[in-house]
Chain A
Amino acid sequence: MESYLSLAIAILAAPLFPGIILKVKAFFAGKKGPPLLIKYYTLAKLLQKGSVYSNSTSFVFTLGPTVSLASALVVLLFFPFAGADPLFSFHGDVIVLFYLMAIGRFFTVIAALDTASPFEGMGAAREVFFSTLAEATIFTILILFYRLNGSLSFAEYFTGENPISLAGASGALLLFAIVSLFMVLLTENSRVPVDDPATHLELTMIHEVMILDHSGPDLALIELGAFYKLFFYSAFITHLMYPFTLAHGISNGVIFYIIIAIIYGAVGMTESIMARYKMNLVPKFILTSFALVFFAAILTMGVFQ
């Protein structure tokens, strides 16, 4: 029951948090900013509209939004939100889930290429390049976690006897993991300094330019998938920062959503105080995240065992 409830709350609440990013950015700019529920309004607006399809597109174009949403949803089914047991879990599920996210990306990319637009092709090329680099970081994080407690699933990482968390015995190593995971979060979810969701020039976009031709409910599904993806990464970091095995039920949930809000706030703050990188700096940014967590994985060989 607790599992269903926490999953349902996560699914319903995920579109709320990007509103926090906008609020934080507005605060830094000295503006009032859009209402917190702005993303719900956007979704509702998009769902009421019809769509315009390009003459160049085929069925692949319509598969993009659905596959990316489906892959984002499956990931949520396996994640122990606020320490509640997930609906499904097995030894090795993290590998499957990160590959499922990859298939979501694959279809987003080929849907972009389906439009025959030069801009969307450019965005697609950047997206696949940066994600291949981010994949190395993610798998090194999984290597580190396996070294720390011998598990290969989200439930084993964060519930169980010996959860991975900052408070644990090798918390120092997790600082590396948290920082690099935050960098991966920024990359995979197209945030500043890798990508700028608010930019107006197509030539400088990555993710936004890939979905230029999507409209109406299709666009809503893509947005929803993106909210879930960002929510998943934030929840991942949240669990690393605080172990949710100590208390029970309500208090866990409250702490969980407070930390999530802080992480979204941090994303907003990063966006406010940093400019986006030039494209040729982005690989270096991602490789930095890899180097950090690789270093941590090497340290498990002697010092922290």
Chain B
Amino acid sequence: MDTFLLSLIVLFAGGIFSLLTYRQFNLMKGAYIAITAIGCLAGLFSIMTPLQEPSVVVTFSRPWLHLFTLSFTLDALSAFFLIPIFAVCPLAVLYSFHYMDKADRKGSTGVNFFFFNILIASMALVATADNIISFALVWEIMSISSFFLVIYDYQKEETRRAGYIYFIFSQAGAMFIFAAFALAYSRTGSYDFAAFAGMPGTIKIIVFFLALVGFGSKAGIFPLHMWLPHAHPAAPSNISAVMSGVMIKMGIYGIIRLYAVLDVTDLIFGQTLLTLGAVSGVLGVVYALGKHDLKKLLAYHSVENIGIILIGAGIGMIGIASDNMVMASFGFAGGLLHVLNHSIFKSLLFLGAGAVLQKTKTRHIDQLGGLIKRMPITGKSFLIGSVSISGLPPFNGFVSEFLIYYGAFHGLTLSGSSFIFTMFGIISLAIIGGLAAACFSKVVGVVFLGEPRSENAAMAVEAGGTITLPMIILAASCLVIGIFPDPFVQSAFSGMRAIKVLVPVTAPEVAIVTANLALAARLFLGMLLFSLVLRKIFYRNKVIERGPTWGCGFTQPTVKMQYTATSYARSVINFYRPFVLIRDSYSGISRIFPGRTTYETRVDDIAETALTDQVVTPILYLLSKFRWIQHGHIQLYIAYIVVTIIVLLLFL
């Protein structure tokens, strides 16, 4: 615990340092990166012990304001969630050296770095908080510091709007969490999470579902995901990487931690999470297919991956409820491992998107193309990230999805509703996998392959060294986890020891599964090598020419004729029509010699449309009736205050 606290102090010091020395821009950035890296390494070092010996639990507590106690505990589940925090954040910080290069915004950059380190520290504290007060405190610090990170480009109206949306969602979500905590406190009379287990069953269910709304809005569960596609494109890319890769996982942590401390075994928890997961997963990826803003698309993929994680957790909870421990262990292990995996490939993809954005100044993927030749390192690492996020072997995304499948298949022996839910989970996972591959073949194909569709894309050059290095490291981790899955799966297994009702499968049994996965991954790589050698042999002494692409007889192709992302995704989106709103506007051709025609198509999120039409618009209408209360007369405002106080005093 001492090392852990030390690492937080170093991180805080790094933040303060960047505030004080921002005038020496490059020096500040270099030293700040070094301090933050040291802090995160210390943090990684501190979680080694709890990961390897899950029985060791260390606690740190101190009184606060004479009334409360702030208490933090480092156990295996916390340690597992701390891995992405301490491993991914320093890479995003390193990335900012070349990415945050606007010399005219030294002050804002210094503030940004300060809040970044506050965010890292508060996330680490969220993952260790073990009573209501400390959790609520650090949760709010996390939400507010990330809000300031999102509005880095506050001069743009779009960014401010995204910031407000994020702020409203995170605060409304926090309200639900606090309501759940308040309810629990009124029942137990104790701030400790440990006391939650003693509550009656129905209260537990209410507490869980209240908190689920709050955690769900942080994690981005459908339909509470709406802030993601606004906040991620608005924030700088290293911030999006950390928010999407790491911060939203704190919502998942909250759900799993709450499930663990509530000590419940009812079927309803698993069934709800599984359903939410399947809906988030499928709709997340369908919307991602429909979006053509690179960062918005990645934001929707976060919704999809949160869905996969929830399917895993749901399978695990159904397993616990029906006393099927193989199903429970592998479901939870897959969900937890996917938390780590998603933090790796999603931050890789956001960093890649940031590099593309920096060099081409365009986020719309239909204006990009051919970047793999101009930005080879970014392109190759983005390709690896895309294959990983599509859950394809031999990369890491597959390992976690396989574990979820493995758990789910072992739940098929159950009868009745559990069988139906498990089957539903498997089929959704299969559909999500297929759609994710469709979506990322679209992204890679349209952004990085083919010919550039605009001047900006044609002029792009490779990004700077500190931008490409983090991507290389992340891409390599994707492959390493895919080929050597055992230590990572085992740490996921040790992480779930916090769930007391779960009796995990023993380590040797897990080792058999991971060894098999590793075998398959290596066999595939071996076969690939064999095919490559075979190809080399066949091409020995052969004439290889280069020419234009075969245009099926058409001899004057232009880059505009390439298939666009819009048309690529159209048929899939059409298929999911009732859940996706497609709006076309076509000016049509009227005269014999037509003038300029326009065609525009956009895909809208039904949750967002419903929120706007059914909730926001009526409320705004209602509130507009009360607008006369606001008139600008100070003396009347003071009168309001006095009257309110008098009325309140009557109730005392």
Contacts and interface: CB of A to CB of B under 8 A. Distances in A.
Given A103-B393, A106-B441, A213-B549, A56 B450 contact: yes
B444 A301 contact: no
A121 interface: yes
B531 A70 contact: yes
A147 interface: yes
A56 B393 contact: no
Given A102-B392, A118-B561, A56 B568 contact: no
A227 B435 CA distance: 26
A283 interface: yes
A114 B450 contact: yes
A105 B391 CA distance: 13
Dominant secondary structure of chain B at its interface with chain A: helix
Interface in A60-78: 60, 62, 65-67, 69-71, 73-74, 77
A133 B431 CA distance: 7
Interface stretch (B251-259, B356-364, B537-545, B639-647): B537-545
B5 to A, nearest CB: 42
B412 interface: yes
A91 B398 contact: no
A117 B393 CA distance: 28
A202 B552 contact: yes
B373 interface: yes
B549 A70 contact: no
Contacts of A60: 372, 383, 449
B423 A297 contact: yes
Interface residues of A, number: 79
A150 interface: yes
A113 B391 CA distance: 20
Contact of A58 (B416, B449, B527, B571): B449
Contact of A221 (B391, B438, B523, B531): B531
Interface residues of B, number: 80
Given A102-B392, A152-B406, 8 more contacts: A65-B531, A93-B516, A99-B401, A122-B567, A125-B570, A128-B441, A139-B426, A301-B415
Given A70-B527, A93-B520, A132 B550 contact: no
A187 B168 CA distance: 47
Given A103-B392, A129-B575, A54 B517 contact: no
Nearest to B559: A116
A121 B532 CA distance: 25
A38 interface: no
A60 B382 CA distance: 13
Interface string B281-303: 00000000000000000000000
B544 A53 contact: yes
Contacts of B523: 74, 77, 88
A79 to B, nearest CB: 13
A230 to B, nearest CB: 18
A124 interface: yes
Nearest to B428: A136
A55 B409 contact: no
Nearest to B547: A52
A218 interface: yes
A92 interface: yes
Nearest to B380: A59
Contacts of B442: 128
Interface string A128-142: 110111011011101
A55 B373 CA distance: 11
A124 B185 CA distance: 56
A135 B433 contact: yes
A117 B370 CA distance: 13
Nearest to B412: A146
A110 B392 CA distance: 14
Interface in B362-389: 369-370, 372-373, 383, 387
B392 A67 contact: no
A56 to B, nearest CB: 5
Interface in B534-576: 534-535, 538-539, 542-552, 557, 559, 561-563, 567-572, 575
B445 A92 contact: no
Dominant secondary structure of chain A at its interface with chain B: helix
B527 A51 contact: no
A81 interface: no
B499 to A, nearest CB: 23
Contacts of A276: none
Contact of B563 (A125, A139, A283): A125
A56 B451 contact: yes
Interface in A247-305: 279, 283, 297, 301
B176 interface: no
A166 interface: no
A152 B546 CA distance: 46
A90 B563 contact: no
B434 A132 contact: yes
B535 A116 contact: no
Given A74-B524, A92-B402, A132-B572, A54 B519 contact: no
Interface string B390-423: 1111000010011001100100110110010001
A142 B542 CA distance: 44
A30 interface: no
A146 B513 CA distance: 18
- Report which residue of B392, B398, B551, B567 has the largest number of chain A beta carbons within 10 angstroms of its beta carbon: B392
B437 A102 contact: yes
A287 B419 CA distance: 22
B516 A51 contact: no
Contacts of A56: 370, 450-451, 548-549
A132 B431 contact: yes
A52 to B, nearest CB: 5
- Report which residue of B440, B563, B572 has the largest number of chain A beta carbons within 10 angstroms of its beta carbon: B563
A167 to B, nearest CB: 23
Contacts of B441: 106, 109-110, 113, 124, 128
A242 to B, nearest CB: 26
B427 interface: yes
A96 interface: yes
A171 interface: no
Nearest to A53: B546
A115 B550 CA distance: 9
B535 A150 contact: no
- Report which residue of A124, A128, A221, A297 has the largest number of chain B beta carbons within 10 angstroms of its beta carbon: A128
B57 interface: no
28 contacts: A54-B550, A69-B531, A70-B530, A73-B531, A74-B523, A88-B519, A88-B523, A90-B516, A91-B516, A95-B406, A99-B398, A102-B437, A114-B445, A116-B451, A117-B549, A117-B551, A117-B557, A121-B445, A124-B563, A128-B438, A129-B575, A132-B435, A135-B431, A136-B431, A143-B409, A143-B412, A216-B539, A217-B538
A100 B519 contact: no
A119 B450 contact: no
A244 B178 CA distance: 63
Nearest to A95: B405
B433 A121 contact: no
Contacts of A110: 383, 441, 444-445, 449
A47 interface: yes
B262 to A, nearest CB: 31
A70 B434 CA distance: 20
B542 A50 contact: yes
A220 interface: yes
Contacts of B519: 88, 90
B527 A136 contact: no
Contacts of B391: 99
B430 interface: yes
B535 A52 contact: no
Nearest to A51: B544
A139 B552 contact: no
B563 A131 contact: no
Contacts of B528: 66-67, 70
Closest 9 CB pairs of A and B: A121-B563, A113-B445, A132-B434, A217-B538, A50-B543, A116-B450, A139-B430, A128-B438, A90-B516
